[in-house]
Amino acid sequence: MGAAIPALALSRMARAAEAMTRPVAGPIASGPFTPDWNSLSAYQTPDWFRDAKFGIWAHWGPQCEPEFGDWYGRLMYEEGSDAYRHHVQKYGHPSKFGFKDVIHQWKAEQWNPDALMALYKRAGAKYFMALANHHDNFDLYNSRHQPDWNATSMGPRKDLIAGWSRAARANGLRFGVSVHAAHAWTWFETAQRADKNGPHAGVPYDGNLTRADGKGQWWEGRDPQALYAQRHPLSKADGDGGVHHEQWHWGGGAAIPNQAYCDNFYARTRDLIDSYDPDIVYYDDTVLPLWPFSDVGLRLAAHMYNRSIATKGKLEAVVNGKILNAQQRRALVLDVERGQLNQIEPLPWQTCTCIGSWHYDRRVYDHNAYKSARTVVHILIDVVSKNGNLLLSVPVRGDGTIDEKEQAIVEEIGHWMARNSEGIYDTRPWAVFGEGPVMKEAPAMSGAGFNEGKTKPFSAADIRFTTKGEAVYAFVMGWPETGKVVIESMRSGGPHLAKRVARVELLGSGRKLAFRQTAQGLQVTLPADKPALAYANALKIT
């Protein structure tokens, strides 16, 4: 979804920003924010987001129909790839059955947003994110500016964003949308190719089709180019295909979208914001969509902030961006993909990760390769201790359901949260975020993230801290065999406690625990009976 950005690209992006193209046509909501970084850097993250800590994401669209994992709509056109071979076997050759035909087959016939949202609420989520479109350029809402290629006009023939929004708000969850379509311009370039070998060598894939080719076809009257966005020269052939590394950031010979494409993306996204009133918009882009050669993203951010003030009386909106510099981090809420930061951040941030692949992948299910509830809980605690939120994607099958293994993971997270969430919600970082062996080897993050799983697993020797009011919550990431915990950061005479410890209890039990505060640390004796889900135990210390 994101990628590292090299220093050379940074300098090129800075020059491009100075020579930005003319503003996209169309007004933004009136208010204090204007579409420039100096104005946007006055943004303050709303308390509801800082207090929520945990959200769940349905990264769900037509690419989940084949149940073959991430970026299917692009990889099915890469001759010889696993997705290509799967596609040929299941559907036929991509010159005859392309991604547009996958959309046509996708019906979402068992989708029940109310049941899923009730489950996610029980799991402890405070906000819910729905995919509004992916790099596949297909809008999952009643899109006035993508009328032929949206979920109300084909495929499910339902307004999925409206359904998700209603269900989330009925369950008291804040609602967000993720927007990924800015990259369709280069992401779908593979659809313009043809096989180099075999019986279909030289036969163009369906990304070359136009409206005129649809006579007598199921898609008659629709223009495939409005989906595939390929009326342009391809990105530099010896680059990385338009979507990896420098080309992801619109450098390195990537084809730059024309003004009409930028205008349409702005109109589509403005329509999404105005029609569904999301509390959060997540952009899967370096900084903002189409940055730095267009100010589309700046205009959308300013519009959302001003609109929030006008409709709610104060700024309640959140806009996520990736790979941000210091000024941009004041203007947006940083999102880190599949990774963690290794220090307490002064500004709120979010990590997004998934228990499997971003798009549903049957192979993950078959190989029992989902993240466990234990792993998710450990990530949540670690992120919250550093002033962050966790946005967790639970992959949804093409038919709109989650499988029973996912259901069990989500339910277990809910059981753990029911006991321990006091130390999660509404908290702030303590003086230090933690102690123990994992902290000492925390890897640095580069680019958009992707340092997840690069340390050894948490154990009872690892502790993470949060605080609220007069309490500090010490999360022990396991159950020590000795039944005793020593917290060095809370030693007597140490720099982090103004007063001596008066009480320690095991959260969720109400039990007062025996402890001694010495020069070596706070020594706590745990109860003899180990609680359920003892892989993370919150000590409430006052």
Per-residue pLDDT averaged across 171-197, rounded?
A: 97
- Contacts of 214-218 with C-beta under 8 Å, sequence gap 24+, read 218/104
Compute, in degrees rounded to 10, the torsion defined by CA atoms 450, 454, 458, 464: -50
- Rounded Cα distance between 48 and 57, Å, is 18
Give the distance from CA 350 to its chain's centroid.
8
Q: How much helix, strand and coil, in percent to the nearest 5, is found in the chain? A: 35, 15, 50
Rg of the chain's alpha carbons, rounded to an integer? 24
| Range with lowest mean pLDDT among 23-37, 153-167, 386-400, 435-449 | 435-449
Are 370 and 394 in contact by the 8 Å Cβ rule? The answer is: no
- By the 8 A CB rule, do 429 and 467 touch? yes
| Position 254, amino acid | A
| Whether residue 119 has pLDDT greater than 50 | yes
Nearest Cα to Cα of residue 303 among 272, 348, 264, 347: 272
What is the model's pLDDT at position 133?
98
CA atoms within 13 A on the CB side of 182: 31
Convert the pLDDT of each residue in 386-434 to its tens digit.
999 999 999 999 999 999 999 999 999 999 999 999 999 999 999 999 9
pLDDT of residue 183: 97
Residue 358: the pLDDT is 97
Per-residue pLDDT tens over the stretch 349-399: 999 999 999 999 999 999 999 999 999 999 999 999 999 999 999 999 999
Structure confidence at residue 10 (pLDDT): 40
pLDDT at residue number 69: 97
Is residue 530 classed exposed, middle or buried when 0-12, 13-18 and 19+ CB atoms within 10 A define those classes? exposed
Instruction: Tell me the pLDDT tens digit for each residue of 489-522.
Output: 999 999 999 899 999 999 989 889 999 999 999 9
Reported as a pLDDT band with limits 50, 70 and 90, residue 17 is very low
Tell whether the model's pLDDT for residue 52 goes beyond 60. Answer: yes
- Cβ-contact 208, 311 below 8 angstroms: no
Percentage of the chain modeled with pLDDT above 90: 87
Average pLDDT over residues 171-193: 97
Average pLDDT of every residue of the chain: 93
DSSP 342-371: SS--SS-EEEEEESS-SS-BHHHHHTT-SP
Residue 14 predicted with pLDDT over 50: no
pLDDT in tens, 293-332: 999 999 999 999 999 999 999 999 999 999 999 999 999 9
For the stretch 387-410, what's the b/e string if a residue is b when 16 or more beta carbons lie within 10 angstroms of its beta carbon? bbbbbbbbbbbbebbbbeebeebb
- Average pLDDT (140-155) is 98
What is the DSSP code (8-state) at residue 496? S
22 vs 371, higher pLDDT: 371
d(C-alpha 62, C-alpha 66), whole Å: 8
Contact 176, 50 (CB under 8 A): no
Any residues with CB less than 8 A from the CB of 351 and at least 6 apart, and which? 335, 336, 337, 338, 339, 340, 341, 379, 383, 388, 389, 390, 391, 449
State mean pLDDT over 72-76: 98
